[in-house]
Amino acid sequence: MKLHILGCFSATPRGFGRTTSQVLEINNEMVLIDCGEGSQVALRKHKIKFARINHIFISHLHGDHFFGLIGLISTFTLLNRVNDLHIYGPKGIKEIILLQLKLSKTYTSYNLFFHELESEESEIILENDKITVRTIPLIHRVYTNGYLFTEKPGKRKLNLTACDKYKVDTCYFNKIKEGGDFVTEQGEVIHNSELTFDADPAKSYAFCSDTVYTETIVPIIKNATVLYHESTFLEEDADRCEHTKHSTAKQAAKIAQMAEVNHLILGHYSTRYHDLSLFKTEAQEIFEPTELAEDGKVFKF
C-alpha cells in the first residue's frame, strides 16, 4: 500500500504547498482522493500515470478539496482518455462539473459517471475484486465524508515444503491458494491448512478530511492500517475548532488511539503555522506512531 501526498495544506495554495490531494495505491488499484488546485501538476511532477486513475473521491465541496477537478477532467480528454471515470462526492458535484463543461463547450472523450452521496450513515460505495470503499460520515460546515479503503483478502500462501512432501503438482497451486484441499493418487485428502499459510492481513486506509473532533467515526475505522486525520490547528488554538469545524493534532491522536490504528498521518495544516514539527510533537504525546503529511512525500506500508 502506497500513499502519495500531492497537497496537504488548508484553505489556499501557497508557494510552498498545495491544498488537499492524495493518490492511494492499494492492492494494484490507484485512486485519487480530493483534488485541490494544482493536483494535475503534482501528478505530473511525481510521474503518476493519469490513465491508472479510474476512481476519484471528493470529501466535500469546499474549494481547497475539489477546485482542481475540472482541469483534470479536461486534461483527460486532451490525453485521449477512453477509460470510464467514476467520481464520488456530495450531491451537487455533478451539477458543478457539468455546468463548467457546458459553458466552456468542453466534451469528454470518455464516459463520466457521478456517484452523488447524501447519506448521513456509513455506506459501501464501491466494491470490486480489489478493494471495498466505505464512507466515513464527518462533521464539518458542509456535508462531508471521509473514506475507508480496504483491500480484498489475498490468497493463502503455499507451504512449498508440504507441497513437495505430498507431491502436489503445480497445476493445483491456484486451487490450493484459494482454499482447496488436495487428494493424493492414493485417495488421501490433505487439508488446506497443511499445505498453506495464512494470507497477509488485508490492509486498510482511512481518510478523514475536514471534521470537528467526533468519536462517532471510531467504530468505522477500528484497526485501520493507516489513518489520515486532519489537524488544522495546534492545541493552543483549539477554541477555533468549534467555529470552523476542524480538529487539532492532539484530537487526531486521540481518535487514532481510540480506533487502535497502526499509523497516524496528520495534514490539512493551517498556514498560520511555520513549524510543522509542532503538530507531530503534540500528537505523539498521545499516539507515538504519528507522521506528517508533506507535499511530495510518499508513504509505503
Mark whether 25 and 37 lie in a shared domain: yes
Phi, psi of 243 (to 5 degrees): -70, -45
pLDDT of residue 219: 98
pLDDT digits (tens, 9 = 90+) for 235-275: 999 999 999 999 999 999 999 999 999 999 999 999 999 99
d(CA 208, CA 189): 48
pLDDT of residue 18: 94
pLDDT of residue 283: 98
| Stated pTM of the model | 0.91
Domain CATH code at residue 112? 3.60.15.10
Mark whether 191 and 275 lie in a shared domain: no
Query: pLDDT under 70 in the chain at which residues?
Result: none
Long-range contacts formed by 115-121: CB under 8 A, 24+ apart:
115/86, 115/87, 115/88, 115/89, 116/89, 116/90, 116/91, 116/92, 117/88, 117/89, 117/90, 117/91, 117/143, 117/145, 118/90, 118/91, 118/143
**Contact between 257 and 287 (Cβ < 8 Å):** yes
Give the CA diameter of the chain.
75
Mark whether 289 and 146 lie in a shared domain: yes
Mark whether 77 and 89 lie in a shared domain: yes
d(CA 132, CA 124): 7
Mark whether 134 and 254 lie in a shared domain: yes
pLDDT of residue 201: 87
- Boundary residue ending a domain (165, 197, 229): 197
Which of 155, 137, 154 has the alpha carbon at shortest distance from 146?
A: 137
pLDDT of residue 12: 87
Helix, strand and coil content of the chain, in percent to the nearest 5, comes to: 30, 30, 40
Mark whether 119 and 187 lie in a shared domain: no
**Residue 31 CA: distances (Å) to CA of 58, 215, 277:** 11, 27, 28
Given phi > 0 = left and psi -120 to 50 = alpha, else beta, which region is 271? alpha
State yes or no: is 64 an active-site residue: yes
pLDDT of residue 198: 87
- Boundary residue ending a domain (197, 217, 251): 197
pLDDT of residue 121: 98
pLDDT of residue 17: 84
pLDDT of residue 200: 85
Mark whether 54 and 126 lie in a shared domain: yes
Enclosing domain of residue 162? 157-197
SS3 sequence, 82-144? CCCEEEEEECCHHHHHHHHHHHCCCCCCCCEEEEEECCCCCCEEEECCCEEEEEEEECCCCCE
Count of domains observed in the chain: 2
Which of 37, 30, 101 has the alpha carbon at shortest distance from 64?
A: 37
Mark whether 251 and 275 lie in a shared domain: yes
Mark whether 248 and 162 lie in a shared domain: no
Mark whether 166 and 230 lie in a shared domain: no
Mark whether 127 and 175 lie in a shared domain: no
Mark whether 227 and 121 lie in a shared domain: yes
Q: Which of 34, 64, 210, 295 is catalytic?
A: 64
